Amino acid sequence: MGISIPDVVCPFCGCLCDDLIIHVDNGRIIKNEHGCAISKSKFLHHLDDRLEHPEIRDGDSHQTVELKTAISHCVDLLKNARRPLIYGLSSVENDAHREAYKIADLVGAIVDNTSSVCHGPTILGTQESGEAAGSLAEVKNRADLVIYWGSNPQFAHPRHISRFVKPPGEFIHDPRTDREVWVFDIRKSITATLADRFVKVEPGRDLEVLSALRALVRGHEIDVSEVGGVPIDTIRELAERMKSAKYGILFFGLGLTQSHGRHHNVDAAIRLVQDLNSYTKWNMMSMRGHYNVAGANKTLTWTTGYPFAVDFSRGFPRYQPGEYTAVDLLRRGEVDVLLNIGADPVAHFPKVAVSHIRKIPVINIDPKRNLTSLFAEVNIPTAIAGIECDGAAVRMDGLPLYLKKVMNPPEGIIPDREVLQMIYEQLEEVMQ
C-alpha cells in the first residue's frame, strides 16, 4: 500500500514549486503530481546514474573506499592546500552551506557559488543601484504587464508562467484580457511564441535598448531611427505602455547577465524600474536557475557579509568578483585543491578553466555522477535534498521554504551537511 505525501517542494529550479504530491510505493517514487516534466524526471529518476560509494582515484580509475577513508583523504588534501577553492552550493540546502563556510574559515579557502556564472552580475548591478524586491504572489495578484527579458521560462522554469502569470489573482480577474506578457530576446524562443508581444533585440545590445527605454520614459527625445535592432517608434510605444501599467514586473534571465555589458545591463534595468516607479508601480526579479542558488547568496551574505567570491585566506572574509570568482581563479591557475559541492564545473566552465581543474585534486561531493566526478580525486555520494533528506532552500523571490524528505537515501548515503561536518570536525582535530 503506497503513501501520498502532499505539499512537497520541488528541488529543481528557483520556482521551488511547493504543491507537489509525491506517491511512494514499496520504497520507490512512482508518481509526481503537479510537477513539470523536469520535476517529474528528477523525482522518478532520483536513483539513476548515482555515485554509489565513496571512491578515491587510483591511476585512470576510481577505487571504492570506506566513507571514513574518503573523509581522511579529503582532510589531508585540504590541510595541505595553499589556495583551496570551495565551489558550487546552489544545489544543496542551507545547512550544508553553513558547514562549507566553516571549512573555508578553518583552512583559509575561497568560497564561490555558481551565481558567479549565472546571476553574479545581477548582484553587482544591485550593489550599484539598489534592489527591487517583491514576491511572486504579488505578481500573480497584481501584475497587468509581465516582461521576460533574456529569459526562456518555458524551458528553464516550466511552471513559472502557469503558476504566477496565467492564473487569475486578487486584482487580475481574467488574465487573458487583464494581463499582457512581453518577451525581449535575441531569438524567438518558445516563451516568445506564447507571449502577447515579442521584441527582438540584436545580440549584445540590451544595454542600449534599456537605456533608450529609460530616456523615453523620462520624456527625452532620441534622434535615431532604431536602437539595438528595435525601431524607435516601437520603443516609444513600449515606454508609454510601461508607464501606463498598474503593476509591471520585469523578470530577467541570463540573457542580460551573460551577454555584453553584464552587470551594466542589470544596472540599467534597475534604473529603468526606478524611473517607472515615478509614474506607477514596477518591480523586477531575477529568474534564478538552480533551486537554492538564491539561498547560497543569502547564507553567504548573512555569514560573511558578501554573496559570492569570498576569500578567507587572511583569516577574515574579503570580497572581490573577478579575483575570487571560480572561473578567474582557475583561469589564472591559482587554485591547488577544489572542493566541489553539488555543481559540475567541468561541464559548465570554459575550457581554459577546465584544463586547470584537470591538473589539481578535486574533492567532489554530489549525489550523481557527472563530468567533474570522472576526473575527481575523491568522490563522496550524498543524499538528494528535498527527496532523500530535508533542509531549507530559498525561492527566486527570497522566500525560504522547507524541503521535505519523501524517502530514505540509498544505504550508507548521508546528507551533504553531514559529510561536510565530518570533514570539518576531522580538520579541526588535525589543525589544532
Cell 549525489: give the residue. Answer: 367
In the complex with another protein, which residue's Cβ is closer, 263 or 417?
Answer: 263
C-beta of 72 vs 325, nearer to another protein: 325
Q: Which is nearer to another protein, 211 or 325 (CB)?
A: 325
Shortest Å distance, C-beta 281 to another protein: 30
Of 128 and 428, which has the nearer Cβ to another protein? 128
In the complex, least distance from residue 200 CB atom to another protein, rounded to whole angstroms: 8
What single-letter DSSP state applies at residue 411? Answer: T
Q: Quick check: 284 and 270 in contact, CB under 8 A? A: yes
Between 257 and 426, CB nearer to another protein = 257
Q: CA 160, CA 303: separation in Å to the nearest integer?
A: 30
Pick 36 or 65: Cβ nearer another protein: 36
Nearer to another protein, 37 or 222 (CB): 37
Q: Which three cell numbers stand for residue 85?
A: 577553492
Strands 247-252 and 281-286: parallel
CB of 76 to another protein, least distance (A): 26
C-alpha cell read off for 106? 578553518
What is the sign of the dihedral through the CA atoms of 132, 135, 138 and 139? positive
For another protein, the closer of residues 72 and 116 by Cβ is 116
CB of 110 to another protein, least distance (A): 12
Bridge-based pairing state of the strands 197-200 and 310-311: unpaired
Judge whether 61 and 385 are in contact, CB under 8 Å. no
Please report, as ranges, the residues that interact with another protein according to CB under 8 A: 12, 37-38, 41-42, 45, 48-49, 112, 116-117, 120-121, 124, 150, 186-189, 192-193, 203-204, 254-255, 257-260, 262-263, 308-309, 321-323, 325-328, 331, 344, 346-354, 358, 368-371, 374-375
**Minimum CB separation from another protein for residue 278, in Å?**
30
CA–CA distance, 148 with 144 (Å, rounded to integer):
13
Distance in Å, CB of 337 to another protein, minimum: 20
Cα–Cα distance for residue pair 177/195, rounded to 1 Å? 13
| Residue 133 or 352 having the CB closest to another protein | 352
Q: C-beta of 140: minimal distance to another protein in Å?
A: 26
Sheet holding 197-200, edge to edge: 197-200, 180-185, 145-149, 247-252, 281-286
Cα distance between residue 270 and residue 129, in whole Å: 7
- Closest approach of another protein to the CB of residue 316, in Å: 21
Give dist(CA 125, CA 144) in Å, integer. 26
User: Cβ-count burial of 314 within 10 angstroms (0-12 exposed, 13-18 middle, 19+ buried)?
Assistant: exposed
**Sequence letter at residue 86:** I
Give me the least distance between CB of 276 and another protein, in Å please. Answer: 25
Q: Of 176, 172, 160, 144, give the one whose Cα is nearest residue 242.
A: 144
Collapsing DSSP to helix, strand or coil, 2 comes out as coil
Alpha-carbon span 412 to 383, nearest angstrom: 10
